Copies of this chain bind each other. A is one copy, B any other.
Amino acid sequence: MQSEKDFLENYDITAFERPSVTTDIVCFRIQNSTKENYRKNPGKKLTILLIQRKEHPFMDAWALPGGFLQPNETIEQCAMREISEETGITPVSIMPVCTFSEPGRDPRGWIISNAFASILGEDSAQPVGGDDAKDAKWFEINFEQNGSAECILELTHSDITLRSVLEETKTRFGIAQFAIKEGGTLAFDHARIIATTLSVLREKAKHFEYIFDFLPETFTLNALQKVQETIMDIEVLPANFRRKVAPFVAQTDDFTQGDGHRPAQLYKRNTQQ
């Protein structure tokens, strides 16, 4: 009878076929648009970070940053490493979304991908291409989930527009699933990954705990409100928002200045409650 020690010493892990494992990171950021006039607050847009691929397959196409899992790292560490290598950016936090494992999703072979949503603060640096990336840019998101049937994901950066038509097939356990009807020009199945991740983020953004990471240490309540509104594509009344968010924030003694209107008190995240 073989002992466990013997078994492990003779165990050949390469005897079975193994997939390659990647992470793909959907990196979100809230961006200010230019001020319309001196006293109006700037509008906010939800953007995601795409890289332009330097190598085959999908050479020159736009894609999510990501790459292969290496030994001695967790998938979270892999996601952080890849985004930093490919774009020079370090996210405040990353959130696991789900795993995409459909056979045939990658033309290179058997590759399964773990999707992460990562969230960047307002003060994050500009992305630069690097490693496998020829270029890296923020794309403005336009995505309307009409509950069922088909929906359109449009990503825009100045004159570049990436457009995919998706079908929301089902929502299992709070995670919306999409099928790609017209691929558009995004690499791999990344249109699907973006749609699923965005719908998960919209669900999470209901809870304030998950949206502080988009902002700097201190922020105005209006800024916090705009983050939630931008992600979820809704509008709420300031009075009601303040009431709801009150338990999650704490006042500081500082105020904004020079805005052409009444100064706003700066708040910070309330770590109690």
Nearest CB to that of A19 among chain B residues?
Answer: B21
Give Cα A87–Cα B7 distance, bound, in whole angstroms: 25
Query: With A16-B68, A56-B8, A69-B19 given, is the CB distance from A98 to B101 under 8 Å?
Result: no
Tell me whether chain A's interface is mostly helix, strand or loop, or mixed.
Answer: loop
Residue A175 interfacial (CB < 8 Å)? yes
Interface pair B4/A110, CB less than 8 Å apart: no
Interface pair A4/B59, CB less than 8 Å apart: yes
Segment at the interface with B among A33-41, A72-80, A147-155: A72-80
Residue A102 interfacial (CB < 8 Å)? yes
A94-113 vs B: 1/0 string, CB under 8 Å? 01101101110001111110
Interface pair A96/B95, CB less than 8 Å apart: no
Number of this chain's copies in the assembly equals 2
Give Cα A16–Cα B18 distance, bound, in whole angstroms: 11
Interface pair B57/A4, CB less than 8 Å apart: yes
Q: How many residues of A contact B (CB 8 A)?
A: 47
Note all chain B residues with C-beta closer than 8 A to A112: 21, 69, 75
Residue A71 interfacial (CB < 8 Å)? yes
Note all chain B residues with C-beta closer than 8 A to A175: 96
Give Cα A99–Cα B99 distance, bound, in whole angstroms: 8
Give Cα A59–Cα B95 distance, bound, in whole angstroms: 35
Note all chain B residues with C-beta closer than 8 A to A59: 4
Q: Which of B13, B75, B98, B174 contacts A204 (CB 8 A)?
A: B174
User: Which 10 pairs between the two chains have the least Cβ-Cβ distance?
Assistant: A7-B56, A18-B18, A95-B173, A13-B109, A75-B101, A74-B101, A72-B103, A4-B56, A18-B20, A11-B108
